[in-house]
Structure 1
Amino acid sequence: MKTAEIAQRYLNYFEQNDHTIVPSASLVSDDPTVMFTIAGMVPFVPYLTGVVPAPFPRAADVQKCIRTNDIEEVGKTARHGTFFQMLGNWSFGDYFKEGAITYAWDLLTKSEADGGLGFAERDIWVTVYETDDEAAALWQKIAGLPAERIQRMGKEDNYWHTGQPGPGGPCSEIYIDRGPAYGKDGGPIVDDNRFTEIWNLVFMQDLLSDVRSKVDFDIAGFLPNKNIDTGMGLERVAMFKQGVENMYETDQVRPVLDRAEQISGRTYGASHEDDVRFRVIADHVRSSLMLLSDGVRPSNEGRGYILRRLMRRTVRSMRLLGVDAPTFPELFSASRDAMKSAYPVIEQDWDQISTAANAEEATFLRTLAQGSTILDLAVEDTKKQGSTALAGSEAFLLHDTYGFPIDLTLEIAEEAGLSVDRDAFDSLMQEQRSRAKADAKSRKRQLADVSVYGDLRALGETEFLGYNDLETESRVLGLLVDGQAATSASEGQVVEIVLAETTLYAESGGQVADKGTIVGPGFVLDVLDVQRPVPGLISHTVEVRQGRVAVGDTATTVVDAANRRAARQAHSATHLVHAALRDTLGKTATQSGSLNRAGYLRFDFSWGQALSAETRTEIEEIANRAVQESLEVTTRVMSLDEAKEAGAMALFGEKYGSVVRMVDIGGPWSRELCAGTHVSTSAEIGLINLVGEASVGASNRRIEALVGQDAFRELAAERAIVSQLTSSLKTPREQLPDRIAELAAQLKAAEKRIAQFEAKERAGQVPALAETATRVGSHQFVGQSVGEVGSADDVRELALAVRERLGSDAAVVAVAGVAAGRPMVVIATNDAARAAGAKAGALAKIAAGVLGGGGGGRDDVAQGGGADASALPAAFSAIEAELRRA
């Protein structure tokens, strides 16, 4: 039975049992403090907690999930996968334990011919929470399971929560006995390899206030409703129904593994090490594909970093299989063909997905080449120093800065006859993880931050009236002070305020929040921010400028009209720039991010190379021609399917509800789904001035533009600069480029002549500096300052020249200079001096310490600096003292 068929059987069964079928949410979590959707219940948290009323009493879904905490275990076990799919059925205050157990048993044991999954009753075992007598009794009553196949476990196994304050409850897990070949008899309590969990029924009834660990938490009380949250691993069910040993061999994953076999020429099943690599490739390619399909792009932070890590681990694994050439075009195509029937969007957006994947692979292959060069130099230096171990700091630098895998560093070092100081490397990695963990923890919202909106949301959705009006009278429904409900707020306090209606736009879709005020009898509130903390609710962060505001007060929202006008201009201009880009570059140049605020727009789009000046001009001309033509801007609210049929662009990676707002500018020329505020005609935009274009990733570019009056002011400033240049250079405007190029060439030639004169002058200083050499211990020593210099290179050149002039006897040369008021010293030692124990790097650190700075370098030449030029004589004395001790 194919994986897609299992999923469809599941949905069909629950649809026949009066469940609303809900499409999968994006892998990108709506919660800004959580990177990914890590469990099937994540999209339903607002309903499970009662913060948002559930739109249906019962539901079922197939939810895409990503977990990366076990990434190092991927490929090593049968069960660890980065991307996986959870089959779930949900009840929000409808059925509870009896219903959940009945549905699960019926679907699992019903024959395949009757639409079930056809598992043998004799192979099914269950566990329940240690004190849950009710669940144990229901399993006996409904399924007829004997008592010995109903096992009790504690909180570690049979109490479920998210690890954060929020919903939780006892659970009952369903296991399949894989048979004697897989381990000992006795049920999951004895061997959870032979007895493999496939379905977890969570009886969600508790509200947890403080979670200290998996088994240590406080229960604040009961949830408003007793809910059911179940999760059945689709890949695990597919393992059993397809008779394979692990999830990597199921029909949606195995094709990538097979393609890696063909490319590498190696055989899956012939070697444990290679098998792990094949499974890593299969998992990571599919996981990367699914993240790319939800709009994530490789980067060095957040979600993009996780994606980049998955993709680079894939490249590394292919390299270990003996393949150095690009493989993503073939591997990702294999995964696309395996997944597209379940997720058609993959094929629809294939051009963008494949472009991003192939560009990342090309970038990393270049990184590997660069990292190999850096590592070769580090290996050479290590050998020169007589060491047999590459410093852990060098390995960490390669890993952290260049993305160079540690196992590749180990491999190359071993080939060179060196080990790597893994203890130091692991320590640095742990420090980094600790910093990242502390940062993530500091950004996590406590449940109270969201749950406080529950009572407010229960009063209904906040009505946004700002499309047509800038002011509206409303009523204060609630106040939050420091995240806690309050009845009033006084002058000087910063609070959140929730109203029944508002004209103030909440930040979304790239458009920043409105500016404005909220006024009422005896109070004035300055609006600092407007957000949607939970679906359907708009919250205003305000500072009480005057008076006192209380729950129940009448309040009028007043939008800053000038700011809103400029923001509307910028947002509509963004749509014009998008359409102009697609006209110029083709349909693959689609939006991947944007920011609109008064007078300014920033637009990210999928494209792999810089735009020429001519292309930028063409885009700007097309967009401004649309402004000049005064195109009508219309908006319509309709179903998502109707909008797509009308040709509206649904932006890649964006999430939309079943009802959407479609914005047309000039009819179908620009037709996008958008909830932002817009002008009535394109002429109101005034002017669009593209001021920048740059790379923001391997396959993404960013355009920045000024709009309206801001665009005019920028052009006026440029005109003033041109006017000043024409006057100063006494050159007509059209001849300015040639004249400036001519002056630049003259300046470059003059700088070259000056450099030659300065080099000649420095060369003349060498004999005099060498003559100052004195005997310090067994060394000749020169310690001199040459005063003001242009750069450290000038000082280095002098120090090396003096060292050569002193001949083969042990010599240490310290030459100092001052650049921009800051002293620097370069120390050079010859072979004889180093043999006698004088190391330039160590001496540079000593000198720099006296100067109030830092320094170091190689044994033959090193540099230090500081802030106190008057300390140079003391720095030379410190070097002399060290030489005498040597």
Structure 2
Amino acid sequence: MQTHDIRKRFLDHFIKAGHTEVPSASLILDDPNLLFVNAGMVPFKPYFLGEQTPPFDRATSVQKCVRTLDIDEVGITTRHNTFFQMAGNFSFGDYFKREAITFAWTLLTNSVEDGGYGIPAEKLWPTVYLDDDEAESIWRDEIGVPAGRIQRRGMKDNYWSMGVPGPCGPCSEIFYDRGPAYGIEGGPEADEDRYIEIWNLVFMQNVRGPGGGKEGYEILGPLPKKNIDTGMGIERVACLLQGVDNVYETDLLKPIIDLAASVTGRAYGAGDHEADVRFRVIADHTRTAAMLIGDGVLPGNDGRGYVLRRLLRRVVRSARLLGAGSTASGPNVSGAGSTASGPNVSGAGSTASGPNVDGADQATMGVFIGAAIDLMAPSYPELADKREHIVSVAVGEEASFAKTLAAGSKLFADAAAATKEANKSTLSGSDAFTLHDTYGFPIDLTLEMAAEAGLQVDEGGFTELMAEQKRRAKADANARKTGHADAGVYREFLDRGPTEFTGYGELVSEARVVGLIADGVRVRSAGAGQELTVILDRTPLYAESGGQMADTGSITTGAGARLTVKDVQRVGKSVWLHSVIVDAGEIAEGDEVLASVDTSWRHGATQGHSGTHMVHAALRQVLGPGATQAGSLNRPGYLRFDFHASGPLSAEQRTQIEEISNEAVEADYRVNTFQTGLAEAKAMGALALFGENYGDEVRVVEIGGPFSMELCGGTHVASSAQIGPVTLIGESSVGSGVRRVEAYVGMDSFRHLSKERALMAGLASSLKVPSDEVPARVEQLVTRLRDVEKQLEKMRAEAARASAATLLDRAVTVGSTLLVSGTLPGLDANGLRSVAGDLRGRVKDRAAVIAVFSPSEDAGQAKVPFVVATTEAARSAGLKAGDVVKEIAPLLGGRGGGKPDLAQGSGSDPTGVDPAMRRISELLH
């Protein structure tokens, strides 16, 4: 049974049982505890925590998940995937244990003809929590599982919680017996390699308190409503139903392994365990990378970006370690739009029958990532729509890693040389860890390079440093697990229901104070001078979200209390929190108030937000549909917009974007907003933001019909003319594959252009030319200035060389070594290196050390660049330029380093020159 069919059968089974199908959420959700969605229930957490009211009593989903805690186990064990699909059914105060167990059992054991998986009942072993007599009774007496195949397990195995205070409860896990070939008899308690868990049924019935680990917390009492949360691993079930030994050989991963075998010329399953692990890493990580990039993650140096970067680099490294590949024709490893028959394992855009790929020395990422897209697209069609972007990001990271490998290889070469010079045969664990942590070198790559250099590696030291890093990361992760506990003071307000936002239709609203929070504690009233949080039953003030900054405004009472609203945020995405200071009078719970938006602020904010939509539409017209949003910020008069792009905008493209935006302003397009279903909105072509978790009903903002249509909850102008002029003021890079444009709108745009005009007029007046001739005139002046600077530099160099000759005249012999030293004002580091090299050439037949300094002052800041060079005879005597620089740099208030023949540095203390020259003389004795 193919994986896509397994997925569909699950959903069909529960839809037939009255469940609402909920599409998979993005792998990126707004959750303080998670880098990625790591379980099927994560999108439903607001319902389980009571932060939001679920729109259904029963739900089912197949959720995309990523777990990277065991990334180093991928390919080694039979069941670790970084990306996996978690199928689940959920009940919110509806059914409980009996129905959950029955639903699971019937799907697993019903015949294929009846929509089930056709698993023999005798292959299944349920487990229950130690004291869960009810669950055991259902399994034994109602389902008919023999008592000998039902095992009771403790809190560590069969009790579930989110890891933070909140809902929890016992669970019942379902294991599949793979048979005696996989281990000993005795059920899951005896051997979890033979008995593999495929489904976990969580009976969410209690509330837990604070504490660590799976057992270190107290059960506080029962939940008001009992809920069901289950999770079935699609990949594990596929492994069993397809009769393969591990999750890497199922229909969604094995084709990537086969492709890797083709392009590397190595065979999978030929008895080489290390090679097989690398094949599995390629397959697993490639698929995970495709899914992450598809949900908006980009390679980076921290957080989600670092995880993606590590996955992609492990793929490149694994391909490299598998060695040179065959050039024979094989499966179609072509790019987007391939027309080859058979599975389209595409990558970069070719239609050739097979690439010329030599292991890691040739680019392979486009080939692998294209295959993953094709394999997953039947269940996730958005991957096909984003193919060009996904492939571009992955290929770009591969190219970046190639440069990193070059830089890291230099560090490795230096470390290896230093190890050998010290008459050692083992590269230190510290060096190996630096290669890994700074340059992304996996340890096995370092081991391979060390072996080629005839060295071993202190793997124990490396492992210890890695373990320390993981301990720090784990402690940091635990420290961050406070996002839901902090919401405790707002629990009553979340349960009461959402704040009514009236700000789309009015700027002043009558409201009632339902809560006051000061210093994290609920208070009944507050007086003048106090800062606090006010919760209203309804409000016109926009809470910061979707890139739009919060409204400012005021809250007043009939009794004379006046409060200034400085910020507005949301908790649970449903309750508005007004950060205020009480200017006069007293505010109390229950007061009837008027909440007012600062009209000037709102006007500017709507201009900024609508302007963002205009710039986005213009970018897509100029760059194509791949220029999708990667983030935004807008405030009155200003916007910034991050978008996916492979390189910087040209001057012509910037002009086009500005012109298209302003033509749309002049067209005075009507801005329409309306509510519709998510599927209907996407069918209309409305753009959705990466990583946003949309509900079934969404708000669409349409500007000029097809010109711009996006899902958006922000506030907007009534027509595009109200945005005013749009002026791009900057474009820059904010990460690999992401660019940022900034712009002014409205009066801020006008003021910016006025300043530019005044500046141009001033330049024209100073240069005594018409305004349209200023650029040419400035270019002439810049060219002349550069020519003069070159002449001055040439004169300084000639003067320095003349002075250098006097340094030879003043050279002294210290011991058996000639010391040539002195100051040469007016030279930069390049000039000093040139002079030092010239002097060394003049005394190359002797053991000599040359040390030259150039003290200067720039904008009141003292600088002392310096260079040390050594002749071959001096180096033979043990004198190394790099060592000398490290000795004298502190005396000059600076740092430096380099090679044995030439080294340099820079300091900030000119008074250290004489002590530095004396120190060099001491070193020569």
Using structure 1 for the length normalisation, give the TM-score. Answer: 0.93
CA distance in 2, matches of 1:260, 1:159: 41
Supply the AA of the counterpart residue of 2:571.
P
Alignment map for 1:23-38 (pairs within 5 Å): 23-38=23-38
Give the residue type in structure 1 aligned to 2:627: A
Deviations 1:366-411, CA, capped at 9 Å, x for gaps = 5445554665566567667766555666655554444444433432
Which stretch has the larger CA shift, 475-484 or 626-635?
Answer: 475-484
Are residues 434 and 529 of structure 1, via their aligned partners in 2, closer, same or farther at CA, if it must alter by over 3 Å? farther
Single out whichever of 82-91 and 789-798 deviates more from structure 2. 789-798
Question: Of residues 570, 587, 597 in structure 2, which corresponds to 1:532?
Answer: 570
The residue that corresponds to 1:90 in the other structure is: 90
What residue number does 1:724 align with?
762
1:564-579 alignment runs, 5 A limit:
564-579=602-617
**2:293 corresponds to which residue?**
292
CA distance 1:201–1:645, shift in 2 (3 Å)? closer
User: 1:413: which partner in 2?
Assistant: 450
Could you tell me which of 528, 532, 551 is aligned with 1:514?
551
1:717 Cα deviation after fit: 1.6
CA contact (8 A) 2:36 2:66 kept: yes
Are the equivalent residues in 2 in contact too, given 1:129–1:172 (CA < 8 A)? Answer: yes
Structure 1 residue identity aligned to 2:49: T
Correspondence 1:843 to 2:844: no
In 1, the alpha carbon distance for the partners of 2:900 and 2:581 equals 61
1:191 corresponds to which residue?
191
Quick one: which amino acid aligns to residue 871 of structure 2? Answer: N
> Matches of 1:525 and 1:405 in 2, distance apart?
57
Aligned mate of 1:467, from 497, 504, 518: 504
Matched, 1:318 2:319: yes
Listed as ranges, the matches of 1:496-507 within 5 Å are 496-507=533-544
Distance 1:750 1:675, change over 3 A: same
**Does the alignment pair 1:876 with 2:917?**
yes
- Report the equivalent of 1:676: 714
Correspondence 1:684-833 to 2 at 5 A? 684-786=722-824, 788-806=825-843, 808-820=845-857, 821-833=862-874
Measured in 2, the distance between the counterparts of 1:256 and 1:459 equals 51
Taking a change above 3 Å as real, the CA distance of residues 259 and 825 of structure 1, as seen in their structure-2 partners, is closer
1:348 counterpart = 2:385: yes
Rate the CA distance shift 1:413–1:750 in 2: closer, same or farther, 3 A. farther
Q: Is the alpha carbon distance of 1:250 and 1:488 closer, same or farther for their aligned partners in structure 2, counting shifts above 3 Å?
A: farther
Q: What is the distance in 2 between the residues matched to 1:635 and 1:790?
A: 65
The letter of the residue matching 2:204 is M
Which residue in the other structure is 2:655 paired with? Answer: 617
Give me the whole-angstrom Cα distance separating, in 2, the residues matched to 1:268 and 1:302. 33
CA contact (8 A) 2:836 2:868 kept: yes
CA distance in 1, matches of 2:758, 2:119: 80
Deviation by residue 1:483-535 (Cα, 9 ceiling, x = unmatched): 44343445555433221111111122221212223333454333333222213
Structure 2: how far apart are the matches of 1:817 and 1:662?
A: 65
Give the superposition deviation at 1:319. 2.1
User: Are 1:302 and 2:307 an aligned pair?
Assistant: no
2:650 matched to 1:632? no
> Residue 456 of structure 1: CA displacement?
0.4
Higher mean alpha-carbon deviation, 855-864 vs 264-273, is at 855-864
Given that 1:770 and 1:806 are in contact with CA atoms closer than 8 Å, whether structure 2 keeps it comes out as: no
Identity %: 52
Query: In 1, distance between residues paired with 2:796 and 2:320?
Result: 51
| 1:302-347 deviation line (CA, Å, top 9, x unaligned) | 2222122212211222222232323333323322232222222222
Partners of 1:335 and 1:525 in 2: CA distance: 56
Distance in 2, Cα, partners of 1:168 & 1:198: 20
1:506 touches 1:512 (CA, 8 Å); kept in 2? yes
Deviation at 1:864, TM superposition (A): 4.3
Q: Which moved more, 1:536-545 or 1:277-286?
A: 536-545
Contact 1:101 1:142 in 2 (8 A): no
1:192 Cα shift?
0.8
1:161-200 matches, within 5 Å, as 161-200=161-200
Measured in 2, the distance between the counterparts of 1:433 and 1:387 equals 29
Please, which moves more after superposition, 701-710 or 847-856? 847-856
Whether the 8 Å CA contact 1:782–1:813 is kept in 2: the answer is: yes
Cα distance change of structure 1 residues 793 and 529 upon mapping to structure 2, 3 Å threshold: same
Measure, in 2, the Cα distance between the counterparts of 1:36 and 1:576. 31
Q: String of CA shifts for 1:523-568, please: whole Å, max 9, x gaps.
A: 4333333222213222223344445433222333222221211111
Contact 1:49 1:224 in 2 (8 A): no
* Equivalent position amino acid for 2:379 in 1: A
Gaps of 5+ in 2: 324-358
Q: Which amino acid aligns with 1:137?
A: S
The 1:589/1:550 distance shift into structure 2, 3 A limit, reads same
CA drift of 1:83 comes to: 0.8
CA 1:643 to 1:29, structure 2 compared with 1: closer, same or farther past 3 Å?
closer
What residue in structure 2 maps to residue 655 of structure 1? 693
Secondary structure, aligned partner of 1:453: helix
1:798 to partner: Cα distance:
4.1
SS at the partner of 2:28? Answer: coil
1:74 offset after TM fit, Å? 0.7
Answering whether residue 899 of structure 2 is matched by residue 858 of structure 1, we say yes
How many Å apart are 1:219 and its aligned residue? 2.9
Q: CA RMSD in A?
A: 2.7
CA spacing shift, 1:492–1:418, aligned 2, 3 Å = farther
Alpha carbons of structure 1 residues 793 and 358: separation in structure 2 relative to 1, 3 Å: closer
Amino acid at match of 2:268: Y
Flag the 1:170–1:813 CA change in 2: closer, same or farther, 3 A.
same
Letter in 1 for 2:292: L
Q: 1:492 to 1:274 in 2, by over 3 A?
A: farther
Deviates more, 1:674-683 or 1:132-141: 132-141
Number of equivalenced pairs: 883
Letter paired with 1:248: Y
What whole-Å deviation, never above 9, does each CA across 1:773-815 have from its counterpart, x for those lacking one? 33444433345344x4342334444444444445544333333
Q: Secondary structure of 2:572's partner?
A: coil
Q: What is aligned with 1:337? A: 374
Hey, what's the Cα distance between the residues in 2 that align with 1:852 and 1:191? 64
Q: Which range moved further: 244-253 or 646-655?
A: 646-655
Report what 1:127 is aligned to. Answer: 127
Q: C-alpha separation between the residues in 2 aligned to 1:397 and 1:803?
A: 35
Q: How far apart are 1:269 and its partner, in Å?
A: 0.8
Mapping of 1:249-264 within 5 angstroms?
Answer: 249-264=249-264
Q: Distance in 2 between matches of 1:314 and 1:807?
A: 49
What SS does structure 2 have at the residue aligned with 1:789?
coil
1:687–1:438: structure 2 CA closer, same or farther, 3 Å change rule?
Answer: farther
User: Cα–Cα, structure 1 residues 437 and 861, in superposed 2: closer, same or farther, change >3 Å?
Assistant: farther
Give yes or no for contact 2:29–2:692 (8 Å, CA) kept in 1. Answer: no
Answer yes or no: is the 8 Å Cα contact 2:796–2:826 preserved in 1. no
Q: Secondary structure at the match of 2:716?
A: coil
Q: Residues 646-665 of structure 1: CA distance to partner in whole angstroms, max 9, x if unpaired? A: 34333455432211222222
Deviations for 1:344-376, whole angstroms, at most 9, x for unmatched residues?
A: 222233333333333333443454455546655
| 1:363 and 1:698 in contact (8 A); partners too | no
SS of the equivalent of 2:729 reads strand
Structure 1 stretch displaced more, 262-271 or 38-47 = 262-271
1:73 Cα deviation after fit: 0.7
Q: Which amino acid aligns with 1:12?
A: D
Which of 795-804 and 473-482 deviates more? 795-804
Segments of structure 1 that go 5 or more residues without pairing to the other structure are none
Q: Are the equivalent residues in 2 in contact too, given 1:49–1:451 (CA < 8 A)?
A: no
Corresponding residue of 1:586: 624
Judging changes above 3 Å, is the alpha-carbon distance between structure 1 residues 172 and 642 closer, same or farther for their aligned structure 2 residues? closer
